[in-house]
Amino acid sequence: MSDPARACILHRADALRRTSSSARADPSAEARSAKAEALAKQGKKPAKGWPAERRARQALLIRQARPWTCSTGPKTAQGKALSAINARTHGMGSAASLAHFRRVRRYLRRCRERNDLVAAHLRGLISMAELKASLAASFTLEPEPPAVRRTG
């Protein structure tokens, strides 16, 4: 066992030893049932969540155990890679996804315009020369927008 892990285990054991028995004891079942009966007589339901005493006791236990001192972080390359993207904005609303959707919409719009030109030629509304000139103009390449990178 490594020294940091051993120190962490010893620290936790020491914290548990220092915790007084009164801080660890739960209220008796009789007191809880009496409180529930009193609330039922008033037509109220017991409150959800922890009472203030239990929250204070839990805060004291956590402050004594200090689990944050034993955190070592990821060890493997895979774990480090996963933790490196913890704060990354992702999903359908991310900047990269929105840029991709803009490119797809632009492509679909150009396809629709070209289809309309071909349909107009097939209906006899424009000549072959006009179709070729319009298609040549629509095939000019636009510069690719710079890749969106977010740092931080």
Domain end among 37, 56, 71: 71
Residues 64 and 101 occupy one common structural domain:
no
Percent of the chain at pLDDT exceeding 90 = 21
**pTM, to two decimals:** 0.35
> How far apart are the C-alpha atoms of 63 and 56, rounded to whole Å?
10
What would the mean pLDDT of 112-136 be, rounded to a whole number? 89
Residues 64 and 118 occupy one common structural domain:
no
Among the ranges given (8-12, 22-26, 62-66), the one the predictor scored with the smallest mean pLDDT:
22-26
Residue 78 resides in a domain = no
What would the mean pLDDT of 10-24 be, rounded to a whole number? 61
> Looking at the 3D structure of the chain, how many domains does it have?
2
Residues 13 and 64 occupy one common structural domain:
yes
Residue 136's alpha-carbon distances to 19, 27, 58, in angstroms, are: 81, 83, 73
Residue 149 resides in a domain = no
Among the ranges given (34-43, 101-110, 139-148), the one the predictor scored with the smallest mean pLDDT:
139-148
Residues 10 and 62 occupy one common structural domain:
yes
The range of the structural domain enclosing residue 120 comes to: 95-138
| pLDDT over 50 at 14, yes or no | yes
Residues 64 and 9 occupy one common structural domain:
yes
Residue 134 resides in a domain = yes
